[in-house]
Structure 1
Amino acid sequence: MTPILFYGVPSGCSFGSIVALEWLARPYRLCRIEMPGVVTSDTYKHINPIAETPSLMKADGRVISETIAIMNHLGTLGIDRRLAFPQGTHDFDRWNQMLAFLNTTFFGSFSPLWYAYEHELEPEAKKALTAYGRARVQKAHARLEALLGDRPWLLGEHRTLVDAYFIGIARWTEYHHVVDRRAFPNLQRLFEKLEADPAVKFAHAIEQQRPAVSAGGFEGEVRLEEAVAHPSHHQVAAVRITQHP
């Protein structure tokens, strides 16, 4: 079975995983998961019990969730392309450290804004939460601006999967109308370079359901019901059930 990435819309952080798969140029398929409706459905919970995206179903039907775990899995497939590094090396430690920063500090700074967007709140509570979120996003951008410096990419002279993850989160400033990235020239430069990348353009087109031209190994989209019903997934799920105490 071709691996399947379950990506969330609108504007899910799984955007970066689509870019990563394109850069790997290995066969893969996509499954569109609408949020918050489909992602919390019983059908999707067969794939990911905690009802979050992204999830990656491997060729053997086993599922990986959580972006850091998915990126580490994909990274092992991209070492020859210098998209990641062998575990145990200094370069891997730097790669993993930057991935963790993006997943905690950078991603986490937007959490108050997403909560205010997705929940009904009293006007004053929403105003306070939005202001708190703006301050966190501003601080996270300042920290990442300093980490990037004048390097072409987040880790140096060539792109890696951490750059793919970055672009999926960085676009949220426009979604929430928060932070003028031009105040952070290093990040703005990186953002513009990534936005011009064919894989990033492809991921945007996929999300927006426009004609999308893959430069990688994209083999089409699959419906959620089809992915859940795949024999390989059922076989793995059955093994898990029978082994549960």
Structure 2
Amino acid sequence: MEPILFYGVPQGCSLGSIIALEWLGEPYRLSRIEMLEHPWPAAFARINPLNLTPAYLTAERHIVNESSAILLHLAARRNNLLGYAQGTPEYDRLNRMLAYLNTEFFSAFRPLWIACEMAANPPVQEMLRNLGNPRVQQACAYLDGLLAEREWIDGGSKRTVADAYFAAIARWAEYHQVLDVRQHPHLSRHLQKLRTDPAVIFADAIERQIEAKSGGRFRGHVTLDEVEPMLA
């Protein structure tokens, strides 16, 4: 069977890996994980003992966990279509940007995600939002400054896995109602460009379970029950 990406919903950062797979143009399948349903299926712990998405099962049946590792794995395929050769300055530049997105930018939203789970405790919820909102504002301002002089987020001349990941997590600023991204015109421009991309439209439709047309080589969904025998 083709490689399988296990993606989380709703609003999972794994959206970036779906976008990258579409851009890559190699056959793949998806397996949907409802992150708000507890407990998670026991079989998933064999894929990622931390019960986190995304996770990626390669065609050779190796498991790759963590967004940055999955994205760099995909970036190296098809003669570095979505990345650069390791050891080059371009690779280091991409890796640096992906690391920033996966640490500083992602973590800025963490208090806001925790706040979503604190509806029964409004004072704590407000405290968390007050903690997270300035961090998101600061991170968006930083990326806006970079994008003022860049066509693609890593500073190169082509789209990369970093753009796919950016599309997945930059949307959280609006989801959490932290800001109107139009306050940051260069960030807003780049996000809107990505939102019109067929791969991004497809990934969003997959996440929302509406009709989706793949421009890549998506081969359908599989269940964890179907995958489990492959993990032996």
> Contact 1:2/1:27 (CA < 8 Å) preserved in 2?
yes
Question: What stretches of structure 1 move > 6 A for 4+ residues in a row?
Answer: none
| Partner AA of 1:100 in structure 2 | A
Distance in 1, Cα, partners of 2:71 & 2:207: 20
> What is residue 140 of structure 1 aligned with on the other side?
139
Structure 2 CA distance for partners of 1:97 and 1:182, relative to 1, 3 Å: same
Residues 1:25 and 2:3 are matched in the alignment = no
| Partner AA of 2:3 in structure 1 | P
Q: Select the structure of larger CA radius of gyration.
A: 1
Q: CA deviation at 1:229?
A: 2.3
Distance in 1, Cα, partners of 2:105 & 2:78: 24
Q: CA deviation at 1:124?
A: 1.5
Q: CA deviation at 1:147?
A: 2.1
Q: CA deviation at 1:217?
A: 1.1
Structure 2 CA distance for partners of 1:171 and 1:77, relative to 1, 3 Å: same
> What is residue 47 of structure 1 aligned with on the other side?
47
User: Gaps spanning 5+ residues in structure 1: where?
Assistant: 235-245
Identity among equivalent positions (%) equals: 49
Structure 2 CA distance for partners of 1:192 and 1:80, relative to 1, 3 Å: same
| Partner AA of 1:207 in structure 2 | E
Over the aligned positions, Cα root-mean-square deviation in angstroms equals 1.4
> What is residue 104 of structure 1 aligned with on the other side?
103
> What is residue 68 of structure 1 aligned with on the other side?
68
Distance in 1, Cα, partners of 2:167 & 2:183: 17
**What pairs with 1:1-40 in structure 2 (closer than 5 Å)?**
1-37=1-37, 40=40
Q: CA deviation at 1:5?
A: 0.1
> Contact 1:6/1:31 (CA < 8 Å) preserved in 2?
yes
> What is residue 168 of structure 1 aligned with on the other side?
168
Distance in 2, Cα, partners of 1:131 & 1:214: 40
| Partner AA of 2:223 in structure 1 | R
> Contact 1:39/1:53 (CA < 8 Å) preserved in 2?
no
> What is residue 239 of structure 1 aligned with on the other side?
none
User: Gaps spanning 5+ residues in structure 2: where?
Assistant: none
Q: CA deviation at 1:132?
A: 1.0
Distance in 1, Cα, partners of 2:53 & 2:100: 19
**What pairs with 1:223-234 in structure 2 (closer than 5 Å)?**
223-230=223-230, 233-234=231-232
How many residue pairs match? The answer is: 231
> What is residue 193 of structure 1 aligned with on the other side?
193
Q: SS of 1:229's equivalent?
A: helix
**Superposition TM-score, scaled by structure 1 size:** 0.90
Deviates more, 1:103-112 or 1:33-42: 33-42
> Contact 1:4/1:58 (CA < 8 Å) preserved in 2?
yes
